[in-house]
Chains A and B, each alone.
Chain A
Amino acid sequence: MIALYILLSMMILGALVAIEVRSLISSVVAVGAVGLGLSLVFLLLKAPDVALTQLVVEIIAVIILIRATIRRQLPGSPVSARPYGVLLGLGFAVLLVLVSLPALQEIPQLGHPYMRVAETYVENGLRDTGATNVVASVILDYRAYDTLGEATVLFTAVMGVMAVLRNRGLKGGEEG
């Protein structure tokens, strides 16, 4: 468990670097580091499916964000925050932790999950579907509606990107 706290502290440090540094490229690289730390935390929490997906999604998100920021930094463009922003952020963080302390007593403490619904998935998964990966049988057999909804959201986002970056009227522009 010590490794978990060390990794979480490093993620918070990486997030602080991503927020406060002035150069945009460094900020995007720091977000990539936070995502890689998150993938390691998922491995520590015994979630290999999620760790693999988080790793590759992080890589492609950093590629897309760097495409948006490279060659677009005019020298001298300010990235400063408002002067009272730091105090406001600190106050918000303290308020959030204080308000959610009663709620944190209600959810199961770290390491003892309730597993009311997942008991049936774990016990009957191999017999009902024949898949040895329980997470795959959950997302594609027991809860396939969620996967259908996720496919719809991804489709809509790709349509949105195509509609926003349309080169209508420019020489040689064509949509994908």
Chain B
Amino acid sequence: MADRREDGMSLIVKTVTRLTLGLILLYGLYIVLHGHLTPGGGFAGGVIVALSLVHLVLAFGGRSAWKRISHSGASVMEATGALGFLALALLGLTAGFFLSNFLPEGRAFALFSAGSIPLANLAICLKVGGGLFAVFAILTIFTAETASPDGGER
């Protein structure tokens, strides 16, 4: 998606990316952690976290981005999220039944409240974010090694 093949975008885009990357990641984590108080939750926050990593890869180009972040770490992140959600569900067995909410619910409107719902939101965020970033990483690596015919429109 650049003038030179896989070199990334222009200098302005790269400088702005260095500033906004951490902000987007922080915003995604905010939406995940406050999922039981305000709209959002694990799914939207996980997609925003994946979008921040996609932002990094798109701005810096395929070849130089894969030296800074590893694309097999995405599978590890996704598997950790899935196993975390299953562990929470099995731990609910100690309180009676599978998937029960076993931690104490605190006051309303506090950050540490609502039992195991914030922990489940974190597990879902890791799973969705890791999975979507893994899909994007595979697509990038696949298109970098395809002998694509020139021509056609951008």
Q: Per-residue CB proximity of A29-66 to B under 8 Å, as 1/0?
A: 00000000000000000001100110011011001100
CB <8 Å contact, B51 and A49: no
B59 interfacial by beta-carbon distance below 8 Å: no
CB-based contact A132/B124 at 8 Å: no
Which residue in chain A gives the minimum CB-CB distance to B34?
A: A133
Which B10-53 residues sit within 8 Å CB-CB of chain A? 31, 35-41, 43-44, 47-48, 50-51
B114 and A130: CB pair below 8 A?
A: yes
Chain B residues contacting A68 (CB-CB under 8 Å) are 139
Q: Nearest Cβ in chain A — how far from B133, in angstroms?
A: 9
**Chain A proximity mask over B73-86: 1 for CB below 8 Å, otherwise 0:** 01100100110011
CB of B121 within 8 A of CB of A23, answer no
Residues of B within 8 A of A173 (CB): 141, 145
**Cross-chain contact of A148 among B85, B113, B151 (Cβ < 8 A):** B85
Are B153 and A140 closer than 8 Å at their CB atoms? no
Map CB proximity to A onto B105-145 as digits: 1 under 8 Å, 0 otherwise.
11111000111110011001001100110111111111101
CA gap between A139 and B39 in the complex, in Å: 13
**Chain B residues near A (Cβ < 8 Å):** 1, 31, 35-41, 43-44, 47-48, 50-51, 54, 58, 71-72, 74-75, 78, 81-82, 85-86, 89, 99, 101, 105-109, 113-117, 120-121, 124, 127-128, 131-132, 134-143, 145, 148-154
